[in-house]
Amino acid sequence: MPIDHINLSRVDLNLLVALDALLTERSVTKAAARIGIGQSAMSHNLARLRDLFGDELMTRGPGGMQPTPRALALADPVRIALAQIETLVSREDTFDPATADRIFRIGLPDSTEVLIGPALLAYVCEHAPGIRFRFYAAEGQGLLDDLDADRLDLGIGVGAFAGGQVHHKRRLLATDSYLVMFNAEKVPIKPPITLEDYVRLPHVLTSLRRGERGVVDEELEKLGLSRKLALVTPRFIAVPFLVAGAAVISTMHARLASYFAEELGLSLSPPPIDLPELRTSVLWHASYDKDPAHIWLRDTIFRVAAEVREKKAAKPPKAR
């Protein structure tokens, strides 16, 4: 569609900057501070925006300023358009990791942090010493919300992300299966674990969601069975220590379980039921799709993850 230059010239594009700040901060005062103008100027911009779009855009509620449905519909198109404009006018069309001074905010589960965090940190310390990371615990819809609000630069998560939208870019990072982990000194069984022992023994469940159900419970239910949960925790990193100290079992991501078993002398077994494939993906907002720094970040994460998998595959497992 051809651009209507005459009509577009009548629009102050700075108003879109103000709208993005208002939608991000949900506060006239904070939005004004975000872009470096006074509160009265931002209030004036909001009035002009309301006139431009024919909508209130932001209304006052018990929790402060709330966006209208029209404002929410504008949020992502406006942010993507501003990011594209910034890319066009920015002189920083290249990114040199060796000299860059920047912090990246990444939301990820501690399972991914354990598996690739050390290698990622080692790579950056050697090749990009000015790059720093801030890791946050984020998963599911919360991760998507943080990407939308620009609280995160990148997300790494497990699952389907049913709430994902077209502006949520995604790339598969890894696939995995499951293994059952236990301390053979406290749980006197030999691999492979039988279905009878599997439902008889108490389990430790790792769940980032509220509730006491996981993929194992869904598959057992199809067989008319259930398991006994001894403990539910949101932290993968705690599970091997719990398993090492008690007569319990835990069904974990295979690569993570293998890592913990090797470090702590735990035993492993394939599960006695069929479990779906685990898919871990990297997610980011479309506004950063062409950003050179973000392209470098994504490529680096994928390179490091691939190297970690290759090293693990080349290393023979210890006998248990």
* CA distances for 306 relative to 51, 115, 231, 310, angstroms: 52, 11, 33, 6
Q: How many residues does the chain have?
A: 320
Q: Tell whether the torsion through CA atoms of 154, 156, 157 and 161 is positive or negative.
A: positive
Are residue 160 and residue 297 in the same domain, yes or no?
yes
**Checking phi first, is residue 233 left (phi over 0); if not, alpha (psi -120 to 50) or beta?**
beta
Last residue of one domain, picked from the residues 41, 64, 89: 89
Residue 272 lies in a domain: yes
Give dist(CA 164, CA 203) in Å, integer.
32
Last residue of one domain, picked from the residues 32, 62, 89: 89
Among 15, 21, 3, 99, CA closest to 52: 15
Residue 281, strand partner residues: 157, 172
Are residue 124 and residue 38 in the same domain, yes or no?
no
Helix ranges restricted to H, the chain: 5-9, 14-25, 28-35, 39-53, 69-89, 110-127, 140-148, 195-200, 215-222, 239-245, 254-264, 292-314
What CATH number is attached to the domain comprising 218? 3.40.190.10
195 with 275: CB under 8 angstroms?
no
Residue 232, strand partner residues: 205
Are residue 60 and residue 76 in the same domain, yes or no?
yes
Give dist(CA 259, CA 266) in Å, integer.
10
pLDDT value of residue 230 = 96
Residue 320 lies in a domain: no
Are residue 75 and residue 135 in the same domain, yes or no?
no
pLDDT value of residue 226 = 96
Are residue 43 and residue 119 in the same domain, yes or no?
no
**Checking phi first, is residue 46 left (phi over 0); if not, alpha (psi -120 to 50) or beta?**
alpha
Residue 222 lies in a domain: yes
Give dist(CA 314, CA 125) in Å, integer.
25
Exposure string over 71-110, b if 16+ CB within 10 A, otherwise e: beebbbebbbebbeeebeeeeeeebebeeeeeebbbbbbb
pLDDT value of residue 104 = 95
The β-bridge relationship of strands 154-158 and 178-182 is unpaired
pLDDT along the chain (320 residues), means of 10: 64 86 90 91 92 91 85 86 71 80 93 94 96 88 86 87 79 95 95 97 87 88 96 93 97 94 96 95 91 94 94 61
How many distinct structural domains can be found in the chain? 3
Last residue of one domain, picked from the residues 62, 89, 116: 89
Residue 286 lies in a domain: yes
Residue 94 lies in a domain: no
Are residue 272 and residue 289 in the same domain, yes or no?
no
Residue 265 lies in a domain: yes
Are residue 26 and residue 64 in the same domain, yes or no?
yes
Residue 95 lies in a domain: no
* CA distances for 42 relative to 19, 25, 104, 185, 207, angstroms: 9, 12, 29, 67, 43
What CATH number is attached to the domain comprising 49? 1.10.10.10
Give dist(CA 182, CA 103) in Å, integer.
39
The β-bridge relationship of strands 154-158 and 278-285 is antiparallel
Are residue 263 and residue 190 in the same domain, yes or no?
yes
Residue 238 lies in a domain: yes
Are residue 61 and residue 130 in the same domain, yes or no?
no
pLDDT value of residue 93 = 63
pLDDT value of residue 82 = 81
Exposure string over 28-42, b if 16+ CB within 10 A, otherwise e: bebbbebbebeeeeb
Are residue 197 and residue 246 in the same domain, yes or no?
yes
Domain that holds residue 53: 5-89
Are residue 157 and residue 306 in the same domain, yes or no?
yes
Give dist(CA 152, CA 231) in Å, integer.
31
DSSP assignment letter at 253: E
Are residue 130 and residue 52 in the same domain, yes or no?
no
